[in-house]
Structure 1
């Protein structure tokens, strides 16, 4: 696999196991995450556009985001 980059089309990624939150709804209002092989990062995509672009984050960046969400850092964004 070539080095993944932000905005890479998901069709250019190797086969990976995408996962979405159990809180997702049938309208497709969710994002999906997948671990890239070899520790190359975590890919994030819009579930409504599965072949569209993916954002690539390091494991440390995803950890910081998840822990911040768990701590309520983004609660002001919930509608």
Structure 2
């Protein structure tokens, strides 16, 4: 997934995640559940990628907003 256009989300303190929309192939277990988004650690672009679909990506959006607002500062 290296060639995709990733969008970076940050909390302003240096902790970032990257997100990009994806199309899932038919053999993917989450294929057919609507649109999908991929999420990765911006400091490890070759590392694991999480895939979220449908209502799952809405949760990721709220998570990204939480990162931006500093809602998870006490967890780091």
TM-score range, shorter chain: 0.5 to 0.7
CA positional deviation for 1:22: 5.7
Structure 2: 5+ residue runs without aligned partners?
25-33
Structure 1 residue 60: Cα displacement: 1.6
Query: TM-score with structure 1 length normalisation?
Result: 0.54
| C-alpha contact 2:9 2:64 (8 A) present in aligned 1 | no
4, 10, 18: which one pairs with 2:6?
18
Residue aligning to 2:44: 49
TM-score (norm 2): 0.56
CA contact (8 A) 1:42 1:59 kept: no
Report the Cα offset of residue 59 of structure 1: 3.3
Structure 1 residues 68 and 56: alpha-carbon distance in aligned structure 2, compared to 1, 3 A threshold: closer
Higher strand residue share: 2
Alpha carbon RMSD of aligned pairs, Å?
3.2
Residue correspondences, number: 62
Aligned partners of 1:68 and 1:52: how far apart in 2? 20
